[in-house]
Structure 1
Amino acid sequence: MDAQPFSAPTKGGWTTFPFLIAPMGGLTLAAGGWSSNLIVYLINEFNVKSIDAAQIANIVNGCMTLLPIIGAILADSFFGSFIVVLASSFVSLLGIGLITLTSAIDTLKPEPCENGSSLCMGPSKAQLAILYSSLALASIGVAGTRFTLATMGADQFDKPKQQGVFFNWYFCTMYIATLGSVVGIVYIQDHVSWGLGFGISFAANVIGLAVFVWGRRYYRLLKPQGSPFTRLACVLVATFRKRKVMLSTKSEDYCQEPMDGATKLGGTTPTNSFKFLNHAALVTQGDTTSDGSIKKPWNLCTIQEVEDLKALIRISPIWTTGILLHTPIAMQMGLIVLQALSMNRHLGPHFQISAGTMMIFVMISTAGALAIIDRFIIPLFQKLTDTPPTILKRIGVGHALTVISMAISALVEAKRLSVARAHNLHGSSVVPMSAFWMVPQLLVVGVGEAFMFPGQVSLYYQEFPKSLKSTAAAMVAMIIGIAFYLSTAIIDFIRKTTGWLPDGINDGRMDNVYWVLTVLGLINFGYFLVCSWLYKYQNIEKDEHTASSEDPC
């Protein structure tokens, strides 16, 4: 059943836009400010070994991207998007505040020492407990706001074209804010003060939260309709219980949408795909009461509920391809920082960029590619072929570019290792090779994200059942979260079975890691091509691919 607005009908629309985009910018700036430079913070301030720091960062990133599915379920099923975003923003504020304290109070971190020294003392259990608590709170806060806020914004508009414009602004704002944190806040952390850098993140969170609350009177709020997952589970249970009952070809034998508490009979029949699930909507003796309402919910479901489950089953193979698509990117995010720490990062004789700032090239590339894709590539494709590129074609281009980026990464790392060996450098010693050799691979992966990330969100928002719209947006985050955890497991496996990733990367073979990721990406790309070829769109909108003059990117 569609969620119905309980606010005034005049609410929503473009009036709400600044009150949703500004919080998105503030909260993203805050999140990027504490997470973008986390590996360097752990190594330099908490004396954590380099690979261990990368693993902790992967787990944190996994939490930030996997937990949004929980926030989406809470928003769809129980509290609504506004309450979930509000509560999560407060939790994020607590976490960032605690992180700021760990940087400002000496007793909350171990004694400083020279990086790599055998005399370095690691953090105590109490210090780790405070650090991990702060990271957990901040991660939960990000998870509950990022994609729930996106869905809440889309809920303010009725037309898919307007929703598409909002999503474009949303992603542009996200990348620009992340760019600001990676450039500005990370620089302050590395060259001025960790406490000041985290403090700016705290202030950005406060401002974002204040603007979000200020716009409360303008929002169109959708009333939660209860957990859709319970209804989907009912379909499976009812199907199993009626598995031996003969299916009917008559529409009146199936349960339609309930009308005013009564079961409506007559109308349509379920589709023939995954036909065995149609048993759940088949009305048998004892399923309904005398007034026509459903007597046993776990024995009888509506046709719509059956079709909702079918929609999820149809799209699940494509969803799984996203996991191995994002896993190489997740691994690259951590490994790039370690490589940059062991390379020359100077711009001129006096200025040195931060290792965590290397990801700026991904942000620049993605933001620029979004503009080029929407303004030039899609119109040109449509002019040449008379049809706009489908969402799956855009995602497929993202797959291919990600594989290319991993291959370039392997070649660059092989070059870095050859330079290190030519100068007889070991451990994590700085190699006389510019870190800007890594820019091409970052630019390529950024363009790939511009093709596949908005495409994935649009695909799931379009193809998921209406009762799962918030969940649909969070499914992309869930993919990325699983990818971060999978990347952590892969790195652990490689460390235990090979010598490719020692603490001193000059003594390892990180190039082999990238070649493995290239091969995995190629296999996954082939799997995606098969899945996309077999998939049939369920909810194509006439103006889905229409370019809008309002599109900012």
Structure 2
Amino acid sequence: MEIDKILHSGDAEDPKSASTSSIPKKGGWITLPFILAMVTGISLAYGGLVSNLIVYLIQEFNVKSISAAKIFNVVNGCVSIFPVAGAIIADSYLGCYSVVWISSLISSLGMLLISLTAAFSKLRPPHCENGSNLCRSPSEFQFAVLYISLALASIGMAGTRFTVGPMGANQFDKPKYQGIFFNWYIFVMYISTAVCSTAIVYIQDNVSWAWGFGICFAGNVIGLVLFLAGSGFYHRIKPHGSPFASLGRVIVAATRKRNLLLSLKSEDYCQDHRNMTFIMPTKFFRFLNRAALKTEGDAELAGSIRKSWRLCTVKEVEDFKSLIKMLPLWSSALLVAVPLVIQLSMVIIQALTMDRHIGAHFKIPAGTMPVFISISTCITIFFLDRLLFPVWEKFTHRPITTLQRVGIGHLLDVLSMAVLALVEAKRLKTVQLHNIEGHDNAVVPMSVFWLVPSLALAGIGEAFHFPGHISFYYQEFPASLKSTSTAVVALSIGIGFYMGNALIDLVRKTTDWLPDNINRGRLDNVYWLITILGGLNFCYFLGCACLYKYQNVENSTDASVNEK
């Protein structure tokens, strides 16, 4: 499957570290149930927390709708940004196993506190009816408990969700088996997300918030216990130092030698001891070449580096340059994340003001709406992998490139926001027609299913650009940084959540489009603004993609692009 090639983040670990001695080898399929138990538990905890968080803050903590959306973005941003820190800690100090169980323990504590806020009324402000002017804000103590629980849950989930995948892949020697593991890994994550967006959200809305969060807490704990129960079976790879240390050494060494003249002889540059040939550093960012320029006292006679913060190998310099070349494309991913995060938060607020009934007795929870993105993404990935991509390759005699996939996803995201803007304009006209704009977030007689087309388009776009981004970075990152290549994608999403908050603040300060009562605002104008920004970003991406030259052409499915 295409997903096999996309998500081999487990290949980043050093395969030479696998034991070949007489000691019985660990790892293999016996570890699969224990690792998938952890994936299930942490996915239930994450989905149960974020799927209905906005509704919980509004209904139980009397937080205004826009403020609730901003808190939601901060939580998701933390879960997406902190995986980079988790990857560094795992590679440098503790290893994947320790990071996974420690992070899961932290997230369990966070979910326990969240469950307590739902169970004990003293940890929440008095309940008030929707639209009432007598609502009391939470006390400082109540806010403190809430924020501490959200912080613990976010940090713990970030450290677990994006570290357990590589650890699972490390249990297998063959890429084929690693691919099978990732199929199950992705499947379990999506199934858990769907369960949270439907069953858990329904329990939270219709039975009890305490029961809903409590089930997620129990899932987190059970997953952790089962994961630890398999400790004796895991193949653990020892930490081999931070992959970012060499990047720092390149900058420091080049700065220290900034006054030296560059040599035109390859033998004057420090070479990788595994490479028997002399290679010249490229002319791109020539300033950095000084980091590999040998001077007296830098290296010993045997060729080993004596002062690593003064002399680097040509390979280390070129690895650093390859990251610089990818920065423009990575920056374009930030404005792809912004529409998605705005959509995730604002759609839930819209759903609260729309008719969510199916029949006379069943009412769709507002927090369930993002499930349409997940469903659309799953269906589209299967369709692309089994039908569209094979047909494309048959008729064009070349596979679709990773950047082509990303570009299609960009365009679909822009289209999704345009459709959402049109739907919101219709909703506001309905508000005016029934003269209910004076009522705080009153329910509009308009079906919530009007939001589904834009959510489906967003899911289709995600099926294109998200795997495309992961595949691109995994393919193009230096071998020493493969383990953190997928974390770069998570980092762009995390920054996108905070950029979304900044955009909300800017809009609220400069316009009247986003009042707490969206029935009085112009949320459609916000969507049109994001549509325009997304269109400009798409043009920027096209320019960056056209100028980019693939680094690992010999191993790339995109090699044909560079052969034109």
Q: TM-score, normalised by structure 2?
A: 0.91
From 54, 78, 81, the equivalent of 1:66 is 81
Partner AA of 2:395 in structure 1:
L
Cα deviation, 1:454-506, whole Å, max 9, x if unaligned, reads 22122222222232223211111111110000100100111111110111111
Instruction: Find out whether 1:411 has 2:426 as its counterpart.
Output: no
Tell me if the contact between 1:239 and 1:279 (Cα under 8 Å) persists in the aligned partners: yes
Q: How do 1:167-178 residues align onto structure 2 when only pairs under 5 Å count?
A: 167-178=182-193
Give secondary structure in 2 for the equivalent of 1:286. Answer: coil
Partner of residue 59, structure 2: 44
CA distance in 2, matches of 1:232, 1:118: 56
Partner of residue 103, structure 2: 88
> How many Å apart are 1:236 and its aligned residue?
1.2
Aligned in 2, Cα 1:123/1:115: closer, same or farther, shift over 3 Å?
Answer: same
CA distance in 2, matches of 1:204, 1:514: 37
Cα deviation, 1:84-108, whole Å, max 9, x if unaligned, reads 1111000000000110011001111
From 350, 368, 381, the equivalent of 1:370 is 381
Cα deviation, 1:240-277, whole Å, max 9, x if unaligned, reads 22234333343332212357xxxx88533333433332
Aligned in 2, Cα 1:405/1:433: closer, same or farther, shift over 3 Å?
Answer: same
From 149, 168, 179, the equivalent of 2:194 is 179
Identity %: 56
Tell me if the contact between 1:3 and 1:225 (Cα under 8 Å) persists in the aligned partners: no
Q: How do 1:96-495 residues align onto structure 2 when only pairs under 5 Å count?
A: 96-157=111-172, 163-258=178-273, 267-426=278-437, 427-495=440-508
> How many Å apart are 1:188 and its aligned residue?
0.3
CA distance in 1, matches of 2:326, 2:171: 26
> How many Å apart are 1:220 and its aligned residue?
3.2
Instruction: Find out whether 1:514 has 2:548 as its counterpart.
Output: no
Equivalenced residue count is 541
> How many Å apart are 1:394 and its aligned residue?
1.1
CA distance in 2, matches of 1:180, 1:435: 20
Partner AA of 1:207 in structure 2:
I
Partner of residue 34, structure 1: 49
> How many Å apart are 1:77 and its aligned residue?
1.7
Partner of residue 538, structure 2: 525
> How many Å apart are 1:363 and its aligned residue?
1.0
Partner AA of 1:468 in structure 2:
L
Tell me if the contact between 2:273 and 2:303 (Cα under 8 Å) persists in the aligned partners: no
Aligned in 2, Cα 1:466/1:14: closer, same or farther, shift over 3 Å?
Answer: farther
Cα deviation, 1:159-214, whole Å, max 9, x if unaligned, reads 55655554444333322211110101000000001111011101111222223223
Partner of residue 6, structure 2: none
CA distance in 1, matches of 2:238, 2:273: 18
CA distance in 2, matches of 1:273, 1:289: 28
Aligned in 2, Cα 1:487/1:19: closer, same or farther, shift over 3 Å?
Answer: same
CA distance in 2, matches of 1:372, 1:92: 35
Cα deviation, 1:316-357, whole Å, max 9, x if unaligned, reads 111111100010110111100110000000000110010000
CA distance in 1, matches of 2:429, 2:371: 26
> How many Å apart are 1:540 and its aligned residue?
4.9
CA distance in 2, matches of 1:392, 1:375: 20
> How many Å apart are 1:304 and its aligned residue?
2.0
Give secondary structure in 2 for the equivalent of 1:433. Answer: strand
Tell me if the contact between 1:370 and 1:450 (Cα under 8 Å) persists in the aligned partners: yes
Aligned in 2, Cα 1:5/1:28: closer, same or farther, shift over 3 Å?
Answer: farther
Give secondary structure in 2 for the equivalent of 1:432. Answer: strand
Partner AA of 1:341 in structure 2:
L
Partner AA of 1:504 in structure 2:
N
CA distance in 1, matches of 2:131, 2:301: 78
Unpaired runs of 5+ in structure 1?
A: 546-553
Give secondary structure in 2 for the equivalent of 1:174. Answer: helix
CA distance in 1, matches of 2:552, 2:220: 37
CA distance in 1, matches of 2:180, 2:278: 36
> How many Å apart are 1:221 and its aligned residue?
2.5
Aligned in 2, Cα 1:18/1:456: closer, same or farther, shift over 3 Å?
Answer: farther
Give secondary structure in 2 for the equivalent of 1:288. Answer: coil
Tell me if the contact between 1:369 and 1:447 (Cα under 8 Å) persists in the aligned partners: yes
Partner of residue 516, structure 2: 503
> How many Å apart are 1:155 and its aligned residue?
3.5
CA distance in 2, matches of 1:258, 1:32: 47
CA distance in 2, matches of 1:368, 1:302: 46
Partner of residue 54, structure 1: 69
Partner of residue 9, structure 2: none
> How many Å apart are 1:133 and its aligned residue?
0.5
Cα deviation, 1:370-391, whole Å, max 9, x if unaligned, reads 1111111111111111111111
Aligned in 2, Cα 1:303/1:159: closer, same or farther, shift over 3 Å?
Answer: farther
Tell me if the contact between 2:13 and 2:170 (Cα under 8 Å) persists in the aligned partners: no
Tell me if the contact between 1:76 and 1:468 (Cα under 8 Å) persists in the aligned partners: no
Aligned in 2, Cα 1:165/1:524: closer, same or farther, shift over 3 Å?
Answer: farther
Give secondary structure in 2 for the equivalent of 1:255. Answer: coil
Tell me if the contact between 1:172 and 1:367 (Cα under 8 Å) persists in the aligned partners: no
> How many Å apart are 1:81 and its aligned residue?
1.2
Cα deviation, 1:276-298, whole Å, max 9, x if unaligned, reads 32221121122123554322222
CA distance in 2, matches of 1:455, 1:32: 24
Give secondary structure in 1 for the equivalent of 2:296. Answer: coil
Tell me if the contact between 1:75 and 1:224 (Cα under 8 Å) persists in the aligned partners: yes
Partner of residue 7, structure 2: none
CA distance in 2, matches of 1:480, 1:62: 7
Aligned in 2, Cα 1:136/1:431: closer, same or farther, shift over 3 Å?
Answer: same
Q: TM-score, normalised by structure 1?
A: 0.93
Tell me if the contact between 2:194 and 2:371 (Cα under 8 Å) persists in the aligned partners: yes
